[in-house]
Structure 1
């Protein structure tokens, strides 16, 4: 009798274990389910003339698509533009590839994206750094970078030894001048708080005039603009010109070898991570989290939640910020760090109003 009971118990246990094993086999992880859904989805990207290795906004946006390929299991296609004339054919190439969502990178792609969206109403698009297109199938990915640039301007003023800091742009367009506005206001706020008179070279916010290279792809123009600012006395310089920041980095390295003490504020991505060659001169970076935004937009589309409502990166949602000081961490005083953190809190709380004509309108 006891033997029968024991055998029955063992059989029941075996059945239970078998059921658990089958249950485990039939319940794949959520990540696998997501990747399964992504098998029939194609995410695409078209760069501007800076290309995907610009160590700036094209590269960061492309990184987001690569992350989506890895995390969501989607198919990825890309088209790199070498000139403005490539925009339309590259977008047509993506439409021929039956892309579910196509990311276009940069304000300069606005017209081509608008035209492609009108011709392909069933396809979805997202454009980085532009909010001009009003269409049901186009989602803007934009940033109020004036907020983070304000922090960078305050930092630059606090670190300057010459009492002069500088900035220059690639092309005079809103997604460039928004950085320059915030930077200038950050310096102004520092002066007001500290009773100082740090000057901003290369940009006059009131007049909306300043130094521009009229290029995003001729690195030597960045070197030239930077050398002019250094010669005028600037010792902290923020280029807002995509790949031309490499020219600024080269000029700063050369100046420092010659006995000067020049540092750089990178933009779009954390320059220490994307351009480590210049890490010894990068004070901080004004970062736009484009990689995360791109992946988030693709995931929402994959989940059937696409909308044309703009994604707006701010200090509050961490869509934009300044990067860590990295190799400059010991050179930035604890006092300055505390002040920067307070300024960040005050901007988020609305106590400090950061205003630019180019800021996204909510």
Structure 2
């Protein structure tokens, strides 16, 4: 890889005059670490996205990321491109493709890319990167970690589920059991339990780990098992796998809860609401900072307070009284009156052990 990069630089130097005559050129890197570099002509700025295995049409966070970059392309005039990863083995080659293409910013979508990104960021210290849902590389000066308070939006949809369920039986399907993904679960279960307590009812919560973000069949199977066991609302935080959950809920005539983006359009008569994680806004912000030369390493956090997470704006399927109560608890979170658990220890200290059993 190093020899390849040196060869590319030598070739670029030899072709400088001909490139200038053609009206094109190679964008210069703007350094790393604290905010550095200078503003560039937007049309010369190249920003690329590397998806995880869910793909750009997962109806979830990969798709949201690409929509954010497309908006940046339209608004700012940058060059935008995505590369899909079909398997984990594609992560590193896809990142290297963008490095060799002299991209100013490379955004990795999902914590699954962290290992590949760490290797490439170490080998290319002048290349700027960003990664969604991972803070393990926060000490690297050329990596910006985009972190979301997913428990907050999940609490809101959990609260809605707890007030809406008729059978007092709801479900949650996760794509993979990690600290990042379990944050969705802790928030959702907290919301369900608090709503149940307020309504004076005990609600059963079924949990399943599909162990994939790209297996719709697994998502549908897990959802069908929950439906058979009495669930009438199922929340999924599982990327492309979640589409299978939605399909099962649609066939059974029960409510599904979407994730990351407003998934109402996928099944208008099935999606009760969605837990929004505004990856699109975060990607747009990174692209804008790249144009303006303001990119910096470290952690960028997005929460209810700054609109980084929220309950979906489409509320057609929510009972007006339920929506009113959800808005009330949202304000209590903003006011600091409700602190939503983000870790197992925080969740269990408040609600007890044996409730959240996903492995």
Q: TM-score, normalised by structure 2?
A: 0.82
Instruction: Give 3-state SS (helix, strand or coil) of 1:327's partner.
Output: coil
The aligned runs of 1:17-56 (5 Å cut-off) are 37-56=41-60
Match of 1:173 in 2: 178
Q: Which of 313, 325, 342 is equivalent to 1:356?
A: 342
User: Does the 8 A contact of 1:149 with 1:180 survive in 2?
Assistant: yes
Match of 2:235 in 1: 238
User: Does the 8 A contact of 1:77 with 1:94 survive in 2?
Assistant: no
The aligned runs of 1:65-214 (5 Å cut-off) are 65-133=69-137, 134-202=139-207, 211-214=208-211
CA deviation map 1:153-185 (0-9, x unaligned) = 110010000011110111111222111110000
Instruction: Give 3-state SS (helix, strand or coil) of 1:285's partner.
Output: strand
CA deviation map 1:104-135 (0-9, x unaligned) = 00010011111111111111101011111020
Match of 2:261 in 1: 269
Which structure has the higher relative contact order (CA within 8 Å, separation 6+)? 2
Q: Which of 281, 288, 295 is equivalent to 2:270?
A: 281
User: Does the 8 A contact of 1:164 with 1:199 survive in 2?
Assistant: yes
User: Does the 8 A contact of 1:152 with 1:284 survive in 2?
Assistant: yes
Match of 1:24 in 2: none
User: Does the 8 A contact of 2:146 with 2:300 survive in 1?
Assistant: yes
- CA offset at residue 55 of structure 1? 0.6
- CA offset at residue 68 of structure 1? 1.4
- CA offset at residue 338 of structure 1? 2.1
User: Does the 8 A contact of 1:283 with 1:325 survive in 2?
Assistant: no
Match of 1:25 in 2: none
Q: Mark the structure with the bigger radius of gyration.
A: 1
Matched, 1:342 2:328: yes
User: Does the 8 A contact of 1:101 with 1:126 survive in 2?
Assistant: yes
Instruction: Give 3-state SS (helix, strand or coil) of 1:295's partner.
Output: helix
User: Does the 8 A contact of 2:163 with 2:199 survive in 1?
Assistant: no
Unpaired runs of at least 5, structure 2: 1-38, 346-359
Cα distance in structure 1, aligned partners of 2:241 and 2:153: 20
CA deviation map 1:27-69 (0-9, x unaligned) = xxxxxxxx98112211111011111111110010011111111
Cα distance in structure 2, aligned partners of 1:358 and 1:315: 21
Matched, 1:63 2:67: yes
CA RMSD of aligned residues (A): 1.7
Cα distance in structure 1, aligned partners of 2:68 and 2:223: 30
Match of 2:295 in 1: 306
Unpaired runs of at least 5, structure 1: 1-34, 203-210, 257-261
Q: TM-score, normalised by structure 1?
A: 0.82
Aligned length: 307
User: Does the 8 A contact of 2:163 with 2:196 survive in 1?
Assistant: no
Cα distance in structure 2, aligned partners of 1:337 and 1:38: 41
